[in-house]
């Protein structure tokens, strides 16, 4: 069976790699501000495009609405909480960018650390609760339909761009080591 939950778990693993880079980036501030700024701008781009436009989009436009149709109580509970987190993440990324633009690298890193911790907590809730609920709500055929909708979504957003973002993340990992 093609599992949409596995797709989301796999995307979380990639996002976790970006979080690790974000947490380690602060050490560049004292030694190489220019490299720090470049790295953080690349991370901002990654979080906006990969985490938000690919990953969160699939959750918000496909998975969460389907879960709500199956169980209305979820909509005002954990699903609403996940939507609120996504909105908070967008605001936090804007804040990081504002600090970066004003060359306040220390504050940018503090905000990036806050974002990273919030995202880690969010991923844990999704992995341990939301995705488990999804797997119990849907039968095999329903999960497969959601999986194919995920594939259509990635195709519409650009499979090649998604692959490029993952490759850029690998380059970021190599540059920070």
* pTM for this model (two decimals): 0.95
* Helix, strand counts (H, E) of the chain: 11, 0
DSSP letter for each residue of 69-129: HH-HHHHTTHHHHHHHHHHHHHHHHHHHHHHHHTT-HHHHHHHHHHHHHHHHHHHHHIIII
Quick: pLDDT tens for 111-162.
999 999 999 999 999 999 999 999 999 999 999 999 999 999 999 999 999 9
**Which domains are assigned to the chain?**
4-176 (1.20.120.520)
Rounded average pLDDT over 72-99: 95
By residue count, the chain amounts to 177
Q: What is the pLDDT of residues 4-52, one digit of tens each?
A: 999 999 999 999 999 999 999 988 888 889 999 999 999 999 999 999 9
**Residue for token pair 């339909």:** 145
Residue 87 — very low, low, confident or very high, per pLDDT cuts 50/70/90?
A: very high
């Amino acid at each position: 069976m093609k599992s949409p939950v596995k797709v989301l778990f796999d995307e979380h693993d990639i996002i976790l790699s970006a979080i690790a880079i974000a947490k380690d980036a602060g050490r560049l501030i004292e030694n190489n501000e220019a490299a720090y700024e470049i790295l953080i701008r690349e991370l901002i781009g990654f979080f906006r495009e990969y985490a938000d436009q690919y990953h969160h989009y699939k959750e918000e436009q496909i998975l969460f609405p389907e879960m709500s149709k199956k169980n209305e109580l979820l909509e005002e509970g954990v699903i609403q909480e996940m939507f609120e987190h996504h909105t908070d993440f967008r605001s936090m990324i804007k804040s990081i960018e504002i600090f970066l633009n004003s060359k306040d690298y220390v504050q940018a890193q503090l905000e990036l650390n806050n974002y990273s911790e919030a995202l880690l907590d969010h991923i844990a809730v999704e992995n341990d609760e939301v995705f488990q609920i999804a797997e119990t709500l849907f039968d095999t055929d329903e999960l497969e339909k959601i999986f194919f909708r995920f594939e259509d979504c990635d195709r519409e957003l650009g499979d090649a761009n998604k692959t490029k973002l993952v490759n850029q993340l690998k380059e970021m990992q190599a540059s920070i080591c």
